[in-house]
Every structure is written in structure tokens, then in C-alpha cells.
A and B are shown apart, each in its own frame.
Chain A
Amino acid sequence: GENVEQHPSTLSVQEGDSAVIKCTYSDSASNYFPWYKQELGKRPQLIIDIRSNVGEKKDQRIAVTLNKTAKHFSLHITETQPEDSAVYFCAAIRGASYIPTFGRGTSLIVHP
């Protein structure tokens, strides 16, 4: 089955810095890669996703890049703000599968 590794487990940055979270996956048939943000005590919410026919996608301060050859994808947050502090999860899904595989999460702390 699919295996998703997510690094780092904790990331501490100063407000205004950039943050990068990386995930690697094992199943070359995976073709959909969402990122979720989960604030303390809240539900996960989709913040951005990318499909395997695209190399990069941006949404304001958030971007995701995908390297299919190396089987890794990354979340980039620029100009971080304290409200970006949360746990971020990546996931990988094979198109014909109904079973998403999630990474273990990255706790992002943005210091004012």
C-alpha cells in the first residue's frame, strides 16, 4: 500500500519568514495530493491540492509543488503570520482508490 512520509514534524519560524513542509510518497500510481490545515481542537480543512498532471499550484501566500519523478511534493507558505500556526497534513490518493494515505503532520509555529 501507499506510504507517506512528512517532514519536519515541528517547524518554528518568525513572522514574515517562509515555511516549507515536504512529503514523500511510495506509490507511483498516486495522482492527487491535498494539504489540510488543522487548528488546535478544530477539524482539518483543505487549503490547497495538486493533481499529477500539474507541477505547481499557487493560492495567494500558499503554493504546492510536485515532483513525480522523485515522488515528493511540498507546501510553501510565504510571509507567514501568527494565524498560520496549526498542524498541516499532506495526503496521497491513487485515482482508482478510495483510501487516502495521510502524513503524520507538521506542527507549524509562527512567532510574532
Chain B
Amino acid sequence: NAGVTQTPKFQVLKTGQSMTLQCAQDMNHEYMSWYRQDPGMGLRLIHYSVGAGITDQGEVPNGYNVSRSTTEDFPLRLLSAAPSQTSVYFCASSPGLPTDTQYFGPGTRLTVL
């Protein structure tokens, strides 16, 4: 099992550009989520999904879109990048609720100039 994988590992964008962060898991987990991690702020939930076709907003959803067409994949889209979106992004999955053990991906470090 590869677990939770994320691509790319690093990305630099200019303000206004769009891009998609990829996340995939091969553990057949129903729950997947995206977090951003900023210095001194802990992890904040952006969006989550409880299964294919079902997504919902977390704590800080503005500026981000998600979709879940398959159990395995949960991409995060930035439609028009802003410097405030400079952060490290982690994808995570768990078998059911987040009260099950969550497994994190390796992260994507995004810089928006």
C-alpha cells in the first residue's frame, strides 16, 4: 500500500493563477480531507468528503474547490491563487469518521507570489 500520496511536493504560483493539488489513497477509505498548515496556526480543515460524490466545507473553505468522483481521489483546486494561500497543504484519509485514525499525506508546499 502506498497510503496517502500527494502531488506536487512543491509549487510556486503567481497571483491569479489556478492549479490543482492532487491527493490519492489506496486504502479504500471513505473519509478524505484537506488541511492547510500555517506557522503557529496548527492544522485547519479546508474541505472534506465522506464518500464519492459527497463533499462539504470545513473551517477555511474560501478560495478552494473540491470534488470526489472516486473513492481514491480527492483533488483540491485553487481557482485564482492569492498570497494568503501560501501554506503547506496536507491531505488525509480515514476509514470512516475522523474519529478513526487519520492518515496524512506527505504535504504540498505552495508559495503564491
Q: Which residues of A contact B (CB under 8 A)?
A: 1, 6, 9, 31-32, 34, 42-46, 49, 51, 89, 91, 93, 95, 98-105
Known pairs A99-B45, A102-B43; A93 contacts B98 (CB<8 A): yes
8 closest A-B pairs by beta carbon, nearest first, are: A102-B42, A32-B99, A43-B104, A102-B43, A104-B42, A100-B98, A44-B104, A46-B101
> Whose C-beta in chain B lies nearest to the C-beta of A102?
B42
Give chain A residues whose Cβ lies under 8 Å from the Cβ of B43.
44, 89, 91, 100, 102
B48 touches A98 (CB 8 A): yes
Number of interface residues of B (CB under 8 A): 23
Give chain A residues whose Cβ lies under 8 Å from the Cβ of B104.
43-45
Which secondary structure characterizes the binding site on chain B? Answer: loop
Give chain A residues whose Cβ lies under 8 Å from the Cβ of B53.
none
> Whose C-beta in chain A lies nearest to the C-beta of B44?
A102
Interchain nearest-CB distance for A73 vs B (Å):
15
Interchain nearest-CB distance for B63 vs A (Å):
18
Complex Cα gap A44–B102 (Å): 9
Is B106 at the interface (CB under 8 A from chain A)? yes
> Whose C-beta in chain A lies nearest to the C-beta of B58?
A99
A44 touches B90 (CB 8 A): yes
Give chain A residues whose Cβ lies under 8 Å from the Cβ of B56.
98
